[in-house]
Each structure stands twice: as structure tokens, then as C-alpha cells.
């Protein structure tokens, strides 16, 4: 493995990394992604570019990654198993590496029934763990899934995967993380953390198995923008765990944005104390411009 991305370098040096999610636009205007990149420049180390998140059609992840790269910003290309079979996935991995993309985050993907084309046929030829393993084999052994050989240069990518410490069955969640690492994940980005107690229980188990020594774990953080968003995430986004205490703060807030910002800072301060956490992954849905102040206030500047 020789990829020399910024994210890999920071994590390998044992520094605290910050990634942020940038959703490509629902259209073909590149300026939308350029604006987001400019706002975040200098405040995060790499940009996760989503792959038709929540199954809503958007500009392709790879194209948006290329736009960021032209700006000298490092993307993490998210790739899901929902819309592509193993042939298309491997082809995209080769293509991504060819255009210089250094990081790929492997996801199974949000089910198509949640998106703007619920009539679509989902692919799910393979799952996220199989995708991680497939890319690792392409990179390290030069073979495709079928065993056929890669002829002209193995893809050179840093492989990421997601983990949700809050979904059920809770006791299986560390086993599943361990499988992702065994499959070849180099870094992990978690579901947004609101319930620090539950996250700590998960991390205790992670550390007791020595997993934090084998993989870089970036904890998810999402600033809450409004009560409406809080309730939507709380009741309608599967696998998100917002404790009553946080929901109540948002309910009673005079200025929900300010409260959401403060809650995010408190969460970051708690998360920073947890042993084995190597960084943050900030997802500010439709609120990317808040990220620079969060990073600044959380005392995470300057970036390496």
C-alpha cells in the first residue's frame, strides 16, 4: 500500500484528522461543489463526497471528487452497492485511482425506497464488507473479484468503511466492525454521535479487542440546525440515537442554531477525550458553512 493521501498521512502520523461531508448538487452545476470546497478549505483534511445519499439522484461522486481535486482539496469518494454490481464497482475503483482519488469509503447504501426513485431496482450484488475486501484484493493482490488479474497498475487507495454503534443488535456492532477491518478497512467513519454514553460502551469494547490499534476511527458529528431537523433525525432516520436530554435542549432553545452549535462543541469535547478516536467526521446537513467555526471553536486549528 503506497497511496500518499493527506488523510492517510495525518492518520499515520497519529494526528487528529477531520473530514467533512459535502453532498454533490442535485444538478450539473459545478459551482455548487466549488463553493462548499472553498468554505471548508483549510478547516478539514479531506472531503467525503456522497454517492447519491438517501438514494436521491445527484451529481456523481466521482465527478464531484474530480472537481474538488482540481481545487487541490482531497476527496474521500463514497461508493455504495445499491446502484452498481461488482463489474461497475471495480471499474469505478480503477477509474477513481486513475484520476488520482486516494480515499474510498465503502457503503452498502441507503435503500432506494427512501429516495426520489422508489421504483428503481436496487442492485446489492455485494455488501459493504465484500466491497472492502474486493478493493483490498485489487490494491494488494492485483486481482479482481473473479480472480482475474489486473493488467495495468493496481488501484492505489486508502480504504474506508462506516460503522453504526447505535443500531441493533447492539452486541453485534463491534463484531461487524471487526469484520470490516478483517476485510481490509484502513479507516472507519461512524454514524453521528449524540449518545456519548452508548458510544463509550462501544468504544470500550473496541479498545478491549485492540481494534483501535488496527484501524483509524473517526467519530461522526452532526450539528443540529433546528428542532425540525432534530425530530426528523430522531424519529425518521434509522440508526440515529438522539438522547432525550439533547432533544430537550433543542426544544427549549431560544436560538436553535446556536444551541445546536453548542451541543456539537460539547460532543466534540467529549469525543476528543475518548481513547482510540483518531479524528472527527463532520456531517452538517445543508449547513456546511457552520463547519469552519465549529473546527475553530473546538480548538482544532490550524490543520496539519
Closest CB to other proteins among residues 49, 163: 163
- 109 forms part of the interface with other proteins (CB under 8 A): yes
Closest CB to other proteins among residues 2, 146: 146
- 78 forms part of the interface with other proteins (CB under 8 A): no
Nearest approach in angstroms of CB 144 to other proteins is 11
Residues 6+ apart with CB under 8 A from 184: 132, 133, 135, 136, 137, 140, 159
Radius of gyration of the chain (CA): 18
Residues 6+ apart with CB under 8 A from 301: 43, 295
- 169 forms part of the interface with other proteins (CB under 8 A): yes
Closest CB to other proteins among residues 37, 184: 184
- 134 forms part of the interface with other proteins (CB under 8 A): yes
Q: Pattern 235-274, binding to other proteins, x per CB under 8 A?
A: ---xx-----------------------------------
- 172 forms part of the interface with other proteins (CB under 8 A): yes
- 133 forms part of the interface with other proteins (CB under 8 A): yes
Task: Name the residue among 196, 195, 199, 225 with its Cα closest to residue 291.
Answer: 225
Nearest approach in angstroms of CB 36 to other proteins is 25
- The residue ranges that bind other proteins (CB under 8 A) are 81-82, 86, 108-109, 111, 113, 122, 124-130, 133-134, 145, 162, 164, 166-169, 171-172, 175-176, 178-179, 182-183, 191, 238-239
Amino acid at each position: 500500500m503506497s497511496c500518499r493521501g493527506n488523510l492517510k498521512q495525518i492518520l499515520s502520523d497519529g494526528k487528529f484528522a477531520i473530514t467533512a461531508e459535502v453532498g454533490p448538487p442535485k444538478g450539473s452545476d459545478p459551482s455548487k461543489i466549488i463553493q462548499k470546497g472553498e468554505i471548508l478549505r483549510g478547516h478539514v483534511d479531506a472531503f467525503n463526497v456522497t454517492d447519491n445519499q438517501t438514494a436521491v439522484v445527484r451529481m456523481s461522486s466521482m465527478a464531484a471528487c474530480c472537481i474538488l481535486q482540481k481545487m487541490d482539496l482531497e476527496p474521500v469518494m463514497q461508493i455504495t452497492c445499491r446502484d452498481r454490481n461488482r463489474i461497475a464497482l471495480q471499474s469505478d475503483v480503477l477509474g477513481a485511482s486513475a484520476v488520482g482519488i486516494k480515499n474510498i469509503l465503502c457503503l452498502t447504501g441507503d435503500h432506494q425506497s427512501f429516495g426520489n426513485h422508489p421504483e428503481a431496482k436496487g442492485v446489492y450484488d455485494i455488501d459493504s464488507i465484500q466491497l472492502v475486501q474486493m478493493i483490498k484484493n485489487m490494491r494488494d493482490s492485483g486481482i479482481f473479484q473473479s480472480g482475474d488479474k489486473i493488467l495495468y497498475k493496481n488501484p492505489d487507495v486508502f480504504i474506508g468503511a462506516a460503522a453504526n454503534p447505535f443500531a441493533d443488535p447492539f452486541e453485534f456492532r463491534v463484531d461487524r466492525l471487526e469484520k470490516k477491518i478483517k476485510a481490509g478497512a484502513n479507516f472507519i467513519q461512524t454514524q453521528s454521535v449524540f449518545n456519548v454514553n452508548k458510544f463509550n460502551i462501544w468504544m470500550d469494547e473496541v479498545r478491549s479487542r485492540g481494534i483501535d490499534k488496527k484501524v483509524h476511527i473517526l467519530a461522526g458529528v452532526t450539528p443540529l440546525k433546528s428542532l425540525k431537523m432534530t425530530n426528523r433525525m430522531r424519529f425518521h432516520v434509522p440508526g440515529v440515537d438522539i438522547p432525550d436530554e439533547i432533544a430537550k435542549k433543542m426544544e427549549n432553545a431560544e436560538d436553535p442554531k446556536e444551541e445546536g452549535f453548542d451541543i456539537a462543541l460539547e460532543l466534540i469535547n467529549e469525543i476528543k477525550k475518548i481513547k482510540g478516536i483518531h479524528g472527527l467526521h463532520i456531517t452538517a446537513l445543508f449547513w456546511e458553512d457552520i463547519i469552519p467555526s465549529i473546527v475553530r471553536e473546538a480548538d482544532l486549528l490550524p490543520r496539519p
